């Protein structure tokens, strides 16, 4: 390897007599004379014992380092934070979830820019650290690869974390005894890995692979497997090729690559959070992706994966039949992917897929393109007088395509959840949970607890829930989130009153509050912006800088 060309940044840290103090400190962490002539590869590890999603990533980081070192570069492992949505869900702590995406992005930029890393490999395994990693790589725009930590195995009786959330609702409605709730709690999470359905983590891993920023199959491997360890070693070796050819995220994360990612997550029935995060990742690399792109691509892209939360199967079962590579090959052959996009292999998407074989005969997880679960996207972008700047819903068709009901309004997630559990929400209600947006929350909490309570109480087909907050990838039912402008900014959702009639129509893509313009003007004249909930600290800083959910909820938007 030509060591001069790839050392675009690290030479400023270690070359010359003036940098003797730098070299002295690096010797203490394992550098020797030869290492100072090598490209330095920062390995951003999101290892943490706060969540099963990331508890194994220290071992993966070591495997990545092994691959980097064996290819002739020098690995430098460092950590960034992670939080757990599943653990903090329904609590005040969940307000830090989306905020952590920005902290992770900032920290990767800070460490690798400060330390002069010539390239970066980031390893993520949970909802926010994955887009946070990609945004950090995009900001630095140095040769980079993302490695997914992998999915968890199923719990007993095919359970997962959403099974536990929904069991709480079933217990509250008297459908199961406390002993069964206790048993599901103790057996649903068997070990390391990200939540097992096509929830946000697996959705984003798939999207990142389609984007070209991870190696083929990185998104479709069990967290604890020989395949995942080998994926890490391979990534460490592959980064050297990117260094030698100066292939950067800006060469890979193009508009066409984002279109590939959007297409894939629609076919998989992926999480609504992908809308928020893909817009944010694109913004960070300087590519314009908007809600309209999801509408345009969604009109011609079917849902064909029978995966949870709306379907039957878990990611581990999709892995067993070949993962997402055969699906991507089908999409490419159908003219639905841009095959000429560059990827972290140094090859195009089409070249990566050239030798991929189709799924085995008789499998029922991925349906034919001409026999879809839904003929167009389940990610329905809504507008109308209740969401002038847009909202995001996940409607597979199983919930129906329209819902008209009576508003039952709550100014926090806690209030809404308590009302559902206590039986105050009944068939025909549209539960409105507001002041949970990026600024109003602050932090745009996910509403998995309320939606799971609705499902657990058997109201999934009879109640809708709308919010300026977000939904977990595990949420299902007739739900609409990301409503913009949010209530805290004076959006119409802040003017809804109990008893108002609301219609949600997935076919016309409209959310309609059946209140006259005159009455809305009267309500608006009486509305006042609430005082900030936090005046110091991280949440206060976030609320002051974050953009609208419709533009990705980023904190460095110009």
Q: Could you give the CA distance from residue 258 to residue 265 in angstroms, rounded to a whole number? A: 11
Q: Looking at beta carbons, which pairs linking 318-321 to residues 24 or more positions away fall under 8 Å?
A: 318/220, 318/365, 318/366, 319/151, 319/220, 319/221, 319/222, 321/359, 321/360, 321/363, 321/365, 321/366
List the catalytic residue out of 75, 219, 412, 472. Answer: 472
Tokens read off for 555:
């904190």
Active site residue 472: yes
Residue among 296, 355, 326, 277 at smallest CA distance from 100: 277
**What are phi and psi for residue 3, nearest 5 degrees?**
-80, -15
Helix (H, G, I), strand (E, B) or coil at 550: helix
Return the structure tokens found at 225.
């497997």
Of 222, 218, 228, 204, residue with least CA distance to 59: 228
Single out the residue of 474, 485, 445 nearest to residue 98, CA to CA. 445
The DSSP code sequence of 120-137 is EEEEE-STTHHHHHHHHH
**Number of CB atoms found within 10 A of residue 428's CB:** 14
Whole-angstrom CA distances from 199 to 26, 38, 100, 387, 544 are 41, 40, 18, 25, 29
DSSP label at residue 303: B
CA distance 340 to 350: 6
Catalytic annotation, residues: 472
């Amino acid at each position: 390897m030509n060591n001069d060309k790839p050392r675009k940044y690290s030479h400023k840290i270690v070359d010359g007599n003036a940098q003797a103090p730098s070299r002295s400190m690096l010797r203490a962490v394992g550098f020797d004379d030869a290492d100072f002539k090598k490209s330095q590869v920062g390995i951003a590890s999101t290892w943490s014992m706060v969540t099963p999603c990331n508890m194994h990533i220290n071992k993966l980081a070591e495997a990545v380092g092994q691959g980097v070192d064996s290819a002739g570069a020098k690995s430098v492992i460092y950590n960034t934070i992670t939080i757990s949505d599943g653990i903090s869900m329904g609590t005040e702590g969940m307000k830090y979830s989306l905020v952590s995406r920005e902290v992770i992005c900032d920290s990767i930029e800070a460490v690798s820019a400060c330390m002069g890393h010539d390239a970066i490999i980031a390893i993520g395994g949970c909802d926010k650290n994955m887009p946070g990693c990609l945004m950090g790589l995009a900001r630095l725009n140095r040769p980079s690869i993302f490695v997914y930590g992998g999915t968890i195995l199923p719990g007993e009786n095919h359970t997962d974390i959403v099974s536990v959330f929904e069991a709480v609702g079933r217990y509250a409605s008297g459908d199961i005894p406390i002993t069964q709730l206790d048993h599901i709690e103790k057996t649903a999470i068997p070990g390391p890995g990200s939540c097992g359905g096509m929830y946000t983590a697996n959705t984003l891993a798939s999207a990142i692979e389609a984007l070209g920023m991870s190696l083929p199959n990185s998104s479709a491997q069990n967290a604890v497997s020989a395949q995942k360890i080998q994926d890490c070693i391979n990534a460490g070796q592959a980064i050297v090729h990117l260094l030698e050819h100066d292939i950067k995220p800006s060469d890979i994360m193009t508009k066409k690559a984002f279109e590939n990612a959007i297409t894939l997550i629609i076919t998989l029935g992926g999480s609504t959070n992908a809308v928020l995060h893909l817009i944010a990742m694109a913004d960070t690399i300087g590519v314009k992706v908007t809600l309209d792109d999801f509408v345009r691509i969604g009109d011609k892209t079917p849902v064909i994966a029978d995966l949870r939360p709306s379907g039957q199967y878990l990611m581990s079962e999709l892995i067993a039949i070949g993962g997402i590579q055969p699906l991507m090959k089908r999409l490419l052959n159908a003219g639905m992917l841009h095959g000429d996009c560059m990827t972290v292999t140094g090859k195009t998407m089409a070249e990566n897929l050239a030798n991929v074989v189709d799924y085995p005969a008789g499998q029922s997880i991925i349906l034919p393109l001409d026999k879809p679960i839904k003929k167009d996207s389940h990610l329905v972008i809504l507008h109308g007088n209740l969401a002038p700047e847009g909202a995001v819903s996940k409607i597979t068709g199983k919930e129906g395509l329209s819902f008209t009901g009576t508003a039952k309004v709550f100014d926090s997630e806690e209030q809404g959840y308590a009302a559902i559990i206590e039986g105050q929400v009944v068939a025909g209600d549209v539960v409105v949970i507001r002041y949970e947006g990026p600024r109003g929350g602050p932090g745009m909490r996910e509403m998995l607890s309320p939606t799971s309570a609705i499902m657990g109480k058997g109201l999934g087909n009879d109640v809708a829930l709308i919010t300026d907050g977000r939904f977990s990838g595990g949420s299902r039912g007739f739900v609409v989130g990301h409503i913009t402008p949010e209530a805290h900014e004076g959006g119409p959702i802040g003017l809804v009153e109990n008893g108002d009639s609301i219609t949600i129509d997935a076919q016309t893509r409209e959310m309609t509050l059946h209140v006259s313009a005159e009455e809305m003007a009267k309500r608006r004249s009486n509305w006042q912006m609430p005082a900030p909930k936090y005046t110091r600290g991280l949440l206060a800083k976030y609320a002051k800088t974050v953009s609208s959910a419709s533009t990705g909820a980023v904190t460095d938007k110009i």
